[in-house]
Amino acid sequence: MDTKKKFNLSLGQLTIPIIAILILVVFNLIRDPSFFSIGITQNNDGNSVLSGNLITVINGASELAILAMGMTLVTAACGGQDISVGAAAAIAGSAFVKILKSGDSISVGTVILAFLFACVVAMIFGAFNGTLVAVFKIQPMIATLILYTCGRSIAYWINGGATPTVQSSIITAIGGFIPGIPVPTPVLIVVIVAIIFKLVFHFTSLEILTQSVGINGSAARLNGINSTFIKLLSFIVLGVCVAVAGCIGVSRLGLINHETLLIDIEMDTILAVAIGGNNLGGGKFKISGSIIGAYVIQMLTITLYAMKVSSTDVKAYKAIVIILLVVIGSPVVKAKFEKLMTKLRSGKAKETVKGAE
């Protein structure tokens, strides 16, 4: 009779990423419960701040999580990924530093101005990628390959080839801790970005429009949706995420190194989207999945480091775990699993019917 309830038991999109996180947590609990100990220590500036492996994980994944949110939208609308986010973040970071270094001293106003400038620059490059994809219908990976290739050169030019350092308590606060707040600032920024996404989805129809364009572009068009605009918009939104991530990266180090800033982050970003259960071919998406995906990746890395795996070997171990995650999350395995569940359930149902008789 209550068929509705039965249908709800099917696998949700977030099942795999949540299970992955739980497995990592349990694994670490067994391995070394002290992994989770969170203490309060004094940092160099004399602030009381949270510390511990867990904090390192959550803090370290900030840029990845922010980029993954934007990437989810691009993936959903365009059915492809932007591989230039690392290079674009270097450009945004350089632009950020350029403004910071333009005056004699760095005030809050300068930082805001610099951040807005970085946003505009990143949005312009996002719009460039977006135009190639949405207007010229170039495959996203090919379109963004251009910026991937030349982005760090552009970043190099912006500051005349130098890697200037920025010394300011405000920048230290953005990359580290705000005096009086024990939570790392990048973590707070992730929360803010996530809330902004949530609000945008609540106050606009972006979510259903993006999904429609990603699932069936032709039908979307005949329902009056401007899919060019939606695709372009997704890249511009990702541009803002790139700027935020770039500015955090710069603030952590207090300098811009166009060669190393957020290097190789594009692949981790795409991976976070995939682990989050989002279809890389576009369509339905869950931003929360991608955020969890980002933490899974970071947690994995830190766990491996905590196990004293050398940094050269880490990548190989990471690859093994990721293969497992992606295979388990694949439609084939999901379908088999659901079939098994249905069988178990119908078996149970039969038993109860017999019992009733």
From the CB of 346, what's the least distance to another protein, in Å?
A: 6
Cβ-based neighbour number of residue 11 at 10 Å:
15
From the CB of 9, what's the least distance to another protein, in Å?
A: 9
Q: Cβ(250)–Cβ(172) under 8 Å?
A: no
Residue 139 lies near another protein (rule: CB under 8 A): no
Residue 3 lies near another protein (rule: CB under 8 A): yes
Q: Cβ(273)–Cβ(75) under 8 Å?
A: yes
Size of the residue set binding another protein (CB under 8 A): 29
* Residues 6-35 contacting another protein, CB under 8 A: 6-7
Query: Which CB sits closer to another protein, 93 or 130?
Result: 130
Residue type, 234: S
Cα 205 from Cα 220, distance rounded (Å) = 13
How far, CA to CA in Å, does 131 sit from each of 52, 122, 135, 233, 235? 44, 14, 5, 10, 9
Stretch that binds another protein, among 40-48, 141-149, 187-195, 201-209 (CB under 8 A): 201-209
DSSP string, 6-55: HHTTSPPTTHHHHHHHHHHHHHHHHH-GGGG--EEEE-TTS-EEEESHHH
* Residues 58-87 contacting another protein, CB under 8 A: none
From the CB of 73, what's the least distance to another protein, in Å?
A: 14
Q: State which of residues 25, 43, 221, 309 lies at the interface with another protein (CB under 8 A).
A: 221
Residue of 271, 244, 232 whose CA lies nearest to 73: 232
Cβ-based neighbour number of residue 64 at 10 Å:
25
Stretch that binds another protein, among 49-57, 120-128, 196-204, 293-301 (CB under 8 A): 196-204
Cβ-based neighbour number of residue 100 at 10 Å:
26
From the CB of 209, what's the least distance to another protein, in Å?
A: 7
Q: State which of residues 161, 224, 347, 355 lies at the interface with another protein (CB under 8 A).
A: 224
Query: Which CB sits closer to another protein, 186 or 283?
Result: 283
Instruction: Tell me which residues touch another protein (CB under 8 A).
Output: 3-4, 6-7, 202-206, 208-209, 211-212, 215-216, 218-226, 283-284, 342, 345-346
